[in-house]
Structure formats: structure tokens, C-alpha cells
Amino acid sequence: MPATTTHSEVETALRDALVEFGAEAEAIHPDATWEQLDVDSLDLVELAQVVEEDFGVQITSHDMQNLKTLRDVSDMVVARSA
């Protein structure tokens, strides 16, 4: 793991995960909402697992309620891993 985590690293990891979950690659951008990406609660739990594994940051289901976009997630991960 690098000393500091960048937004770009987090967004790339999340993008790869969402594509694996079945989201349209072209539709994925940092401000797309979960609804626009057809991401549901089960996908979000899996996203949280990816974040924990790749960046060592634990995101709870309580946190998730306030995270509406990919950018929200990457902001939180960067802030917590700083």
C-alpha cells in the first residue's frame, strides 16, 4: 500500500469493481449516483469489501447511507487513509 492514497487510485479500484458487478463502463464517472449505475445495497457491501481489502479503510453500512456517488466514497477513503 502506498504511503498516501489518491482519489485516482480509489476511483480506479471502484470503477473496476463496478464493471465486474455488471455496471456499464461508459456510465461510470465520479458523480454518477448509485441509482444511475444500478448499484444496490448488495453491491455497496461488496464495494466496501473492495475498499477494505485494497486501502485498509473500513466503511460501515451507516457510512454508506451518506455516500451517494463514487466521489463520495473516494473522498472518505482518502480522508481516512491520510
Binding site for other proteins (CB under 8 A): 20-23, 38, 42, 45-46, 49, 52-53
CB of 66 to other proteins, least distance (A): 19
63 Cβ contact list (under 8 Å, min separation 6): 76
Q: How many CB atoms lie within 10 A of CB 78?
A: 18
- Taking the least distance from each CB to other proteins, the nearer of 16 and 21 is 21
Beta strands in the chain (DSSP E): none
Q: How far is the CB of 74 from other proteins (least distance, A)?
A: 21
Q: Are the C-beta atoms of residues 12 and 28 closer than 8 Å to each other?
A: no
Give the nearer residue to other proteins in terms of CB position, either 4 or 35.
35
